């Protein structure tokens, strides 16, 4: 078999491979990291590389992923390109390891959650004592003629001493070989017991003491990103976290377009298969990284919006998007991993946190659990902002919630140079006397602007009177950074010589209009909820910010542009990915899991889509900070 | 393709078939019934026919099923013999439709049960109102913006009005397409709800009103025979009944040899597969006969001994036969038909009635339910006699039970001319002054002697002093019917010219000794139980006879030989196949189903295998009627 040499740039790593080896495999052999989500199926487009010298076959997958210009420049998908020549290959920044900073936990760390935002009791105390699945080691007395109860009764008799379930059941599959297992292991076995309502469901019996090997996954099934934490069910420790992009993106950017696809020319099964692949990819990575066995992962708790939940469980989502917005279910049955193709222990359980309604899902319920607002007498607010913003207001007596479409602006979409919060994204901006200072993620050359950078930008432009409170440019101003392209005014944040691409990075008047709509929708939704319950913003004890907003968001500037209510910035707290945090709390604590059902039942959903007060609030909010200045007494441009 | 003519005798039916057609198919085409249990796999040996003229290939299956002499005479299995010549084929009596009279219901009918033996309440009233699975027709209000609960909540809200379960759950599989189903059928659907402990388990949702199509199966899983009744769950009516021979017979005659096979060179899966095939064959016949759809059979309740139950559910039975006789389970989880390969509605439920211990199974529990002895204050007794005899004594306050090996004598095995209660079996015998009068099943020429005939025989021989009370022949008697073969005395019941085979039908001294052992074991077990609870036979209000004994058993003669206790024969009642009757009661009534668990828990099992009083009683009972004549005051030979 012929062999060829492949050199990967910019690392200058060389490797010799057999003819026909894929570039992705070659990179792996050369220890060069190339992104890949789909596992080499040519479907995610993450493994783009540029062949600088040497011949490769044209890539039939390329058309969907590259522009004509890129194809001419030698761009291919590494996983779809066999090596048939000596090659020089450039791995561009976006295909390299420096992935997007997906928010995988309570701000700011990746590992242990930010303790201060979590109610102590369920996470700490209950966590370690009552996870959804628990292993119990049993040394059973040998049967005798005077004690010859059945094998399963012998087990249950011991379990009743150690666990508090009102009854136990065991699926037929586990019963079938029970007799042999007990006798082969001299009546010393470990029972894995899952909470199933008030019943203990015996998932498996293993020989010997395996209680040390007991893991679970907490998963945030986001429309855009999927985050999984690997948790030790015995100690409660988070062992690791992984994140990837929701593979459903190939079927549509947002939940609406994916539902249309699933209920039209596609099918819900395709969407289910995509998200299951996401989870399995994350699981594989976590298992490898932490040297554990897949079969020792015994439970998965997922939180997602109602549509994602329907897709994950294979439920038809078609009525969710149509008035009167009816989901198939809001409380979901406990499933077994094997039933939905999740590659953990096949008898392991999958619980999906309950939804409130079609547009208030388990991710929001998880957020309420994570911040603890439903347990406290003070009135608090949770704003979980992604493409949709879900808002919850309430305390231990009542909870109201609503959902509004914020558009993609805060997530880096819908603006010309918008990008996700990944390497090279401008995340902070200050403008003073015509000079622009910015900070990029990873201190790399700027490649675009992420959500927090865009909020900074709007604020700085308004503060410097470069734009008016209506978001329009003051074209009379003389500033070399203000230019016009195709008749649309724009502001240059980074000149061509500063950026990675060699092109200027700008923010246009259209971008600004889009952002004002986004912030207007979020604020109007919050204002509508507050009015609904007859409260003033000053009565809010705390505002929790979850989801897309990272800790890099400047809350003062967020208030100033009218995105956040004008309260003491000290009372605005980031809780990061509260969806995964809530999922983990439920995984580690039966009472916390039960609490999610209680929370979901308690939440009153205000449907904004035909709600006139919201329409009026929205129009009033299309101004910086707001047409009603009295709502923002601290803001002065 | 060549064609050949096949003529079937004794019916003289002719048919022309293609070369290669099996004789079994040819018979079907000619409308000649030939028995077949295994469905043409060559494994049951039921379809034996004799080729009288024309050539057939030698049958490689024949060796296991035929004697060398039979093979020479042209005997083949019809299912394994292709037609390759013009043939004349005899269908012998045992392969014809006149099958064994398997007891399929409370004596004496095949259809409706003997009402008088059944407690009224659970069977009549509850039956029609609370079967284990019930279809409920729902006309749901359409969702609106002010009533947009989830689809499943809309269904449960209505079900709660009509059913009394504390909660409902729905397996993921049914939820997945629910949204479409509701909308396609304009919110008019039928929910199939199974009782699963206190929860209503929604098995399926169908469009429109399908409540009229709701069937269940009650199955007696016997070691020798399997009986299935098809029941209308809405009306409680028994639509039909079918029976066949347990295919596990190929792995051993009795439970012990089958366990040894399953736990040795075979596997429990083979035994499970055999019994599942039995049930599927019966189901297919019932479905065809009554013109219903397989998918409308929604539940199956089976009753069997503990070993059969383990085999049916695929549980390892290996510890049942070894001291201290521990089964895997005595209460069995509700299974779905698809999980064990039962061909009814795949989401239909399979419930197996609970056991008491390794040798007291769900069939005995079903018997207690069927005769109602557990509800009444009078002390009653149930004797369920097959190869094993299970005996229960008690009332509504206490129940004791034991099991003893009766051997195969009462079922037609273990004696020279013993046969099952099928066509040509001598079932009644009278001997007067050297003359023998007998009655055969179907008034056919005698082929052998079944259980009731054998009991008659022993009694008549003793009454005529042809044998002594020790069961030995009085060889001094001059009677042409008394002869000796190989040194063993025997009595000729039917001379060669009377019988079907042209050979004499006899009962030997060895046969009599075996039967005395069998009746001794049954009586000793009953006596041991009575002594254990300190009761005299006269305190028994009723003795119910179930199982192998048909109504043709003469109770007076059964008492006289010491098989049955010496009480007023009017208080001895046949209840036939109480296993299938009890299974049907549980199928038709949730309370009756719950009662089986209660009965099983209440029954105290006396293990006779090492019980000294039983050993002594057994030896004392090896006499006609008994060594202690005071126990049988009414009997005088």
Do A399 and A459 lie in one domain? The reply is no
| Neighboring chain A residues of B145 at a CB cutoff of 8 Å | 323-324, 607, 610
Is the minimum CB–CB distance between A356 and chain B shorter than 8 Å?
A: no
For residue B207, give the 3-state DSSP assignment.
Answer: strand
Q: Which domain holds residue A505?
A: 410-511
Do A136 and A34 lie in one domain? The reply is no
The mean predicted confidence, pLDDT, of chain A is: 89
Q: What is the pLDDT of residue B65?
A: 67
Q: Are strands B75-77 and A425-432 parallel, antiparallel or unpaired?
A: unpaired
Contact B333 A268 (CB under 8 A): no
Which residue in chain B is spatially nearest to A354 when comparing CA positions?
A: B150
Which residue in chain A is spatially nearest to B142 when comparing CA positions?
A: A324
Domain's final residue, options B207, B223, B252: B207
Q: Could you tell me if residue B111 is inside a domain?
A: no
Q: What is the pLDDT of residue A117?
A: 36
Over 80: is that where the pLDDT of A551 sits?
no
**Residue of B176, B181, B259 to mutate when probing chain A, most A C-beta within 10 A:** B176
C-alpha A188/C-alpha A181 separation (Å) is: 9
Q: Could you tell me if residue B81 is inside a domain?
A: yes
pLDDT digits 0-9 by tens, B103-138 = 555 433 323 333 333 433 334 433 455 899 999 999
In Å, how far is A183's CA from the nearest CA of chain B?
9
Q: Tell me what percent of the residues of chain B surpass a pLDDT of 70.
A: 91
Q: Could you tell me if residue A633 is inside a domain?
A: no
Domains held by chain B: number: 5
Q: Are strands B488-494 and B482-485 parallel, antiparallel or unpaired?
A: antiparallel
Q: What is the CATH number of the domain that holds A181?
A: 3.10.20.880
Q: Could you tell me if residue B544 is inside a domain?
A: yes
In Å, how far is A368's CA from the nearest CA of chain B?
21
- Of residues B411 and B613, which shows the higher confidence score? B613
Contact A151 B177 (CB under 8 A): no
* A contact residues 106-145, partner B, Cβ 8 Å cutoff: 143-145
Q: Could you tell me if residue B607 is inside a domain?
A: yes
Sheet holding A335-336, edge to edge: A238-245, A225-232, A215-221, A297-304, A349-352, A335-336
Do A304 and A264 lie in one domain? The reply is yes
pLDDT digits 0-9 by tens, A257-274 = 999 999 998 899 999 999
What ipTM was predicted for this assembly? Answer: 0.82
In Å, how far is A278's CA from the nearest CA of chain B?
20
Q: Could you tell me if residue B238 is inside a domain?
A: yes
| Neighboring chain B residues of A340 at a CB cutoff of 8 Å | 172
Q: What is the pLDDT of residue A122?
A: 38
Do A399 and A522 lie in one domain? The reply is yes
Contact A169 B333 (CB under 8 A): yes
Do A399 and A545 lie in one domain? The reply is yes
Contact A315 B176 (CB under 8 A): yes
Do B334 and B287 lie in one domain? The reply is yes
Over 80: is that where the pLDDT of B187 sits?
yes
Over 50: is that where the pLDDT of B362 sits?
yes
Averaged pLDDT for residues B197-221: 96
pLDDT digits 0-9 by tens, A164-205 = 999 999 999 999 999 999 999 999 999 999 999 889 999 999
Over 50: is that where the pLDDT of B357 sits?
yes
DSSP structure class, residue A141 = P
Name the β-bridge partners of A7.
Answer: A14, A88
Contact A171 B325 (CB under 8 A): no
| Neighboring chain B residues of A330 at a CB cutoff of 8 Å | 149-150, 153
SS3 content of chain B, % helix, strand, coil (to 5): 35, 25, 40
Alpha helices in B32-177 (DSSP H): 62-65, 68-72, 120, 127-129, 151-162, 172-176
| Neighboring chain A residues of B151 at a CB cutoff of 8 Å | 319, 326-329
Domain's final residue, options B489, B515, B541: B515
Cα–Cα nearest to A220, from A248, A237, A243 = A243
Over 50: is that where the pLDDT of A95 sits?
yes
Residue A260, Cβ density class (10 Å: 0-12 exposed, 13-18 middle, ≥19 buried): middle
Banded pLDDT at B540 (limits 50, 70, 90):
very high
Contact B327 A177 (CB under 8 A): no
pTM of this structure: 0.82
pLDDT digits 0-9 by tens, A400-439 = 999 998 888 887 777 888 887 778 899 999 999 889 999 9
Token duo for residue A599: 């929370």
Q: What is the CATH number of the domain that holds A314?
A: 3.30.420.480
Q: What is the CATH number of the domain that holds A90?
A: 3.10.20.30
Cα–Cα nearest to A493, from A450, A451, A449 = A449
pLDDT digits 0-9 by tens, B549-561 = 667 789 999 999 9
Do A440 and A578 lie in one domain? The reply is no
C-alpha A113/C-alpha B186 separation (Å) is: 48
Q: What is the pLDDT of residue A108?
A: 32
Q: C-alpha distances in angstroms, A356 versus A156, A359, A363, A567, B468?
A: 36, 8, 10, 28, 85
Do B189 and B286 lie in one domain? The reply is no
Do B382 and B414 lie in one domain? The reply is no
Q: What is the pLDDT of residue A28?
A: 79
Over 60: is that where the pLDDT of A120 sits?
no
**Residue of A148, A173, A174, A198 to mutate when probing chain B, most B C-beta within 10 A:** A148
Cβ-contact A142, A278 below 8 angstroms = no
Averaged pLDDT for residues A456-478: 94
Cα–Cα nearest to B557, from B432, B443, B445, B429 = B429
DSSP structure class, residue B57 = -
Banded pLDDT at B37 (limits 50, 70, 90):
low
C-alpha A580/C-alpha A103 separation (Å) is: 10
C-alpha A453/C-alpha A465 separation (Å) is: 18
Contact B172 A335 (CB under 8 A): yes
Contact B148 A325 (CB under 8 A): yes
Which residue in chain A is spatially nearest to B317 when comparing CA positions?
A: A179
| Neighboring chain A residues of B607 at a CB cutoff of 8 Å | 145
Q: What is the pLDDT of residue A509?
A: 94
Place of tokens 């289910």: A272
| Neighboring chain A residues of B176 at a CB cutoff of 8 Å | 268, 313-316
pLDDT digits 0-9 by tens, B48-72 = 889 999 998 866 666 666 767 778 8
* A contact residues 275-314, partner B, Cβ 8 Å cutoff: 313-314
- Which residues contact residue B443 at a Cβ distance below 8 angstroms, ignoring those fewer than 6 apart? none
C-alpha B352/C-alpha B355 separation (Å) is: 9
Contact B318 A180 (CB under 8 A): yes
Q: What is the dihedral of CA B338, B342, B344, B346, to 10 degrees?
A: 0
Cβ-contact A333, A541 below 8 angstroms = no
C-alpha B416/C-alpha B273 separation (Å) is: 32
Place of tokens 């910019």: A10
- Which residues contact residue A457 at a Cβ distance below 8 angstroms, ignoring those fewer than 6 apart? A429, A449, A491, A493, A507
Q: Could you tell me if residue A241 is inside a domain?
A: yes
User: Phi/psi zone of residue B168: left (φ > 0), alpha (ψ -120 to 50 degrees), beta?
Assistant: beta
Banded pLDDT at A102 (limits 50, 70, 90):
low
Q: What is the 3-state secondary structure (H, E, C) of A452-484?
A: HHHHHHHHHHHHCCCECCCCCECCCCCCCCEEE
Over 90: is that where the pLDDT of A297 sits?
yes
Do A321 and A423 lie in one domain? The reply is no
Cβ-contact B130, B81 below 8 angstroms = no
Residue A198, Cβ density class (10 Å: 0-12 exposed, 13-18 middle, ≥19 buried): exposed
* A contact residues 316-355, partner B, Cβ 8 Å cutoff: 316-319, 323-330, 333, 335, 339-340
In Å, how far is A418's CA from the nearest CA of chain B?
37
Do A396 and A430 lie in one domain? The reply is no
Q: What is the pLDDT of residue B132?
A: 96
Contact B150 A325 (CB under 8 A): no
C-alpha A148/C-alpha B357 separation (Å) is: 8
Q: Are strands B199-207 and B167-169 parallel, antiparallel or unpaired?
A: parallel
Contact A152 B329 (CB under 8 A): yes
Q: Could you tell me if residue B495 is inside a domain?
A: yes
| Neighboring chain A residues of B172 at a CB cutoff of 8 Å | 313-314, 333, 335, 339-340
Do A47 and A173 lie in one domain? The reply is no
| Neighboring chain A residues of B326 at a CB cutoff of 8 Å | 143, 148-151, 179
Cα–Cα nearest to A123, from A237, A276, A289 = A237
Token duo for residue B586: 């549980």
Averaged pLDDT for residues B155-180: 94
| Neighboring chain B residues of A321 at a CB cutoff of 8 Å | none
Domain's final residue, options A167, A186, A207: A207
* A contact residues 595-614, partner B, Cβ 8 Å cutoff: 607, 610
C-alpha B39/C-alpha B284 separation (Å) is: 11
| Neighboring chain B residues of A151 at a CB cutoff of 8 Å | 319, 326-329
């Amino acid at each position: 078999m012929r062999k060829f040499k492949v050199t990967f740039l910019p690392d200058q790593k060389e490797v010799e491979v057999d003819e026909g080896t894929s570039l992705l495999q070659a990179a792996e052999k050369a220890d060069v990291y190339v992104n890949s989500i789909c596992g080499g199926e040519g479907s995610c487009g993450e493994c783009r590389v540029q062949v600088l010298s040497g011949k490769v076959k044209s890539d039939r997958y390329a058309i969907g992923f590259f522009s004509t210009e890129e194809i001419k420049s030698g761009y291919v998908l590494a996983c779809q390109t066999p090596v048939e020549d000596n090659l020089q290959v450039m791995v561009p920044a976006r295909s390299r390891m420096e992935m997007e900073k997906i928010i995988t936990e309570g701000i700011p760390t990746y590992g242990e959650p930010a303790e201060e935002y979590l109610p102590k009791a369920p996470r700490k105390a209950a966590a370690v004592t009552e996870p959804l699945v628990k292993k119990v080691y049993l040394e059973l007395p040998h049967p005798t003629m005077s004690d010859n109860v059945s094998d399963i009764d012998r087990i249950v008799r011991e379990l009743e001493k150690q666990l508090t379930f009102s009854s136990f059941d065991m699926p037929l599959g586990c019963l079938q070989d029970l007799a042999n297992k007990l006798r082969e292991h001299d009546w010393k076995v470990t029972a894995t017991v899952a909470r199933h309502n008030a019943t203990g469901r015996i998932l498996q019996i293993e020989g010997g003491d395996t209680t040390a090997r007991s893991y679970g996954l907490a998963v945030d099934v986001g429309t855009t990103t999927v985050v999984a934490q690997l948790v030790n069910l015995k100690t409660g420790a988070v062992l690791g976290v992984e994140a990837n992009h929701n593979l459903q993106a190939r079927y549509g950017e947002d939940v609406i377009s994916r539902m249309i696809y699933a209920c039209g020319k596609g099918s819900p099964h395709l969407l289910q298969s995509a998200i299951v692949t996401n989870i399995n990819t994350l699981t594989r990575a976590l298992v490898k990284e932490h040297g554990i066995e897949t079969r020792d992962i015994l439970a998965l708790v997922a939180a997602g919006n109602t549509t994602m939940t329907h897709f994950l469980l294979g439920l038809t989502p078609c009525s969710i998007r149509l008035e009167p917005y009816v989901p198939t279910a809001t409380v979901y049955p406990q499933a077994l991993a094997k039933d939905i193709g999740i590659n953990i222990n096949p008898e392991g359980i999958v619980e999906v946190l309950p939804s409130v309604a079609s547009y208030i899902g388990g991710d929001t319920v998880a957020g309420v659990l994570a911040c603890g607002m439903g347990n406290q007498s003070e009135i608090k607010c949770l704003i979980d902002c992604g493409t949709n913003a879900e808002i919850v207001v309430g305390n231990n007596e009542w909870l109201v919630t609503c959902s509004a479409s914020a558009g993609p602006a805060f997530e880096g979409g819908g603006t010309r140079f918008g990008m996700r919060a990944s390497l090279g994204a401008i995340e902070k901006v200050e403008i003073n006397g015509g000079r622009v200072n910015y900070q990029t993620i990873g201190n790399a050359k700027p490649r675009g602007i992420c959500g927090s950078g865009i909020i900074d930008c709007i604020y700085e432009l308004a503060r410097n009177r470069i734009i008016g409170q209506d978001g329009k440019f003051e074209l009379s101003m003389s500033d070399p950074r203000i230019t016009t392209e195709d008749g649309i005014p724009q502001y240059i944040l980074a000149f061509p010589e500063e950026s990675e691409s060699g092109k200027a990075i700008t923010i246009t008047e259209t971008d600004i209009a889009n952002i004002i709509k986004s912030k207007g929708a979020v604020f109007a939704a919050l204002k509508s909820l507050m009015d609904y319950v007859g409260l003033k913003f000053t009565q809010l004890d705390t505002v929790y910010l979850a989801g897309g907003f990272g800790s890099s968001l400047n809350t003062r500037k967020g208030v100033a542009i009218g995105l956040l209510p004008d309260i003491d910035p000290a009372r605005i707290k980031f809780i990061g990915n509260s969806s995964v945090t809530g999922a983990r709390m439920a995984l580690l604590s039966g009472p916390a899991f039960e609490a999610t059902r209680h929370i979901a039942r308690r939440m009153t959903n205000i449907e904004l889509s035909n709600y006139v007060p919201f329409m009026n609030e929205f129009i009033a909010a299309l101004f910086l900070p707001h047409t009603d200045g009295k709502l923002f007494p601290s803001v002065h441009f």
